[in-house]
């Protein structure tokens, strides 16, 4: 598959299309995505820190 979604050429084409369609909004979209990932990581860390620590033998 020359232009499969996993190939570098396919990813480049998808990136160019996204840039052309969402060029002006792309920085805002990426900022929002970054905030979402940060909040997700905070939630994961909070969940693991609330669990009881393992008992020492």
5: CB partners within 8 A, 6+ apart = 11, 14
Which residue from 29, 8, 7 is spatially nearest to 18, judged by alpha carbons? 29
pLDDT, mean of residues 16-45: 88
Q: What percent of the chain has pLDDT over 70?
A: 75
User: pTM for this one?
Assistant: 0.49
Question: Which residue segment(s) compose the domain that 44 sits in?
Answer: 24-48
Give the SS3 label for residue 53: coil
Kindly state whether residue 8 falls inside one of the protein's structural domains.
no
> Which pLDDT band, with edges at 50, 70 and 90, does 40 fall under?
very high
- DSSP class of residue 56? P
Check whether 4 has a pLDDT greater than 80: no
Give the SS3 label for residue 16: helix
> Total domain count for the chain?
1
Kindly state whether residue 53 falls inside one of the protein's structural domains.
no
Burial class (CB in 10 A: 0-12, 13-18, 19+), 16: exposed
Kindly state whether residue 44 falls inside one of the protein's structural domains.
yes
Check whether 41 has a pLDDT greater than 90: yes
Kindly state whether residue 3 falls inside one of the protein's structural domains.
no
């Amino acid at each position: 598959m020359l232009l499969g979604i996993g190939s570098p050429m396919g990813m480049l084409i998808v990136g160019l299309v996204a840039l052309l369609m969402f060029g002006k909004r792309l920085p805002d979209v990426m900022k929002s995505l970054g905030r979402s990932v940060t909040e997700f990581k905070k939630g994961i860390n909070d969940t693991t820190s609330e669990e009881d620590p393992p008992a020492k033998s």
